[in-house]
A and B are shown apart, each in its own frame.
Chain A
Amino acid sequence: MHRYANPTRFLKIARVATPIVALLGLALTAAGLWIGLFASPPDYQQGDSVRIMYVHVPAAWLGAGGYMSLAIASATALIWRHPLATIAARAIAPAGAAFTAICLVSGALWGKPTWGTYWVWDARLTSMLVLLFLYLGYLALSASEADKGGEARASAILALVGVINLPIIKYSVEWWNTLHQGSSISVVNASSRIAPALLTPLLLSVAGFSFLFAAIVLMRMRAMLAQQRVDARSRRLAEALA
């Protein structure tokens, strides 16, 4: 792990990996959304509004999965003080927040025709909104810590505390009666309640969104490392001139 925590080595790998990951993400997302929107059948109950799922479900998974990676990066920063861990956490947070927001908005747009309401305060919807607030809190706190130039300790602790929300989101539909339906896909049992014709575009778009998420994080990390170098260089220059 230490081998890849070296910023120079990371930049070398990231320079090659970023365009590959980004192109994979664009291609898979385009394929998934094309099939999902134009070349797949409607649902027997929901009709065409089922197509919102091809954006909603990947956004939800990446909102939650992104938070898990934010927490892992934060724990790594707290415990092992890896130079890249804080940068990774700060790169992940805005992308995760954006996907969570997409999940909430697309879910509301699906809820109106399906349930008859944009929003209810059931356990699944509320815990997902809390996830967005955790992201926003992390962003605000880490921005103020970055301004002061200190360690990102408080924001890392906030990210770890928020992990408690992830099992709540996942199991909210089992622990409580919710308006939101239960899980259609079980990774553990490798089973799904979604017909193959609808599952194929969904899985394509999940894969595409994941690669796009990774590409965004890589791009942001490279930009932040470059910014650090620029800052260090201008500091040295200012000292030399003084």
Chain B
Amino acid sequence: MKAKHQRLWLVVGALTALGGAGALAFSTLGEKATYFYAPSDLKKGPAPTAAIRLGGMVEKGSITRDGATVRFVVTDMAQTVPVTYTGILPDLFREGQGVIAEGRIDPATGAFKADTILAKHDENYMPPEVAGAMKKTGRVSAGN
């Protein structure tokens, strides 16, 4: 075997081993690297007491305001969690749009009390007139 073939197999072998190690690390890491939990994830186990992030869609027609406090429902189309938040909301916070709330579940009421609200953007990009036309045909849920 020529030296360069030896080196080739060495590199291929090393990369395969590295890939295997990566896959093992990935399977162990699993859910821990997730940035937020969906409402369904929370309903699976006992309510966590630590601070967590909750992500999903702002349910249509669920936003109510009381001064600087806003109440809305986060849904993943299977489960829902009511959220309360006091403070300034990001511009993209809208009904029917993605949202991530950082905070805790109030054990007394089961509602999620958020300290921070981040708006999540989806992968659809289009001009307003296209969105308007699609809204009419019901192909997109524009919040504004």
Contact = CB atoms under 8 A, between A and B. Distances in A.
A186 B91 CA distance: 28
Contact of B14 (A45, A160, A177): A160
A184 B123 contact: yes
A137 interface: no
Contacts of B125: 43, 46, 50, 53, 184, 193-195, 198
B126 interface: yes
Contacts of A43: 125-128
Contact of A181 (B123, B142, B143): B123
A46 B11 CA distance: 46
Contact of A195 (B8, B97, B100, B126): B126
B38 A177 contact: yes
A117 B120 CA distance: 11
Given A78-B11, A179-B100, A181-B120, A41 B128 contact: yes
A120 B35 contact: yes
B91 A113 contact: yes
B8 A79 contact: yes
B36 to A, nearest CB: 5
Most chain B CB inside 10 Å of its own CB: which residue of A41, A53, A113, A115: A115
Interface string B104-144: 00000000000011111111111111111000000000111
B63 interface: no
Most chain B CB inside 10 Å of its own CB: which residue of A78, A123, A161, A179: A179
Nearest to B143: A45
Given A79-B7, A177-B36, A44 B131 contact: yes
A121 B36 CA distance: 11
Contacts of B91: 113-114, 116
Interface in A173-191: 175-179, 181-184
A114 B119 contact: yes
Interface residues of A, number: 41
A41 B129 CA distance: 9
Nearest to B129: A41
A87 to B, nearest CB: 19
B11 A160 contact: yes
B50 interface: no
B5 to A, nearest CB: 9
Contact of A116 (B97, B117, B132): B117
B127 A197 contact: yes
A164 interface: yes
B50 to A, nearest CB: 16
B92 A177 contact: no
A46 B92 contact: yes
A81 B128 contact: no
B22 interface: yes
B48 interface: no
Most chain B CB inside 10 Å of its own CB: which residue of A114, A115, A121, A177: A177
A179 B118 contact: yes
B130 to A, nearest CB: 5
A42 interface: yes
13 contacts: A44-B126, A45-B92, A45-B121, A53-B125, A79-B11, A114-B90, A116-B117, A123-B33, A161-B18, A164-B19, A177-B37, A195-B125, A195-B127
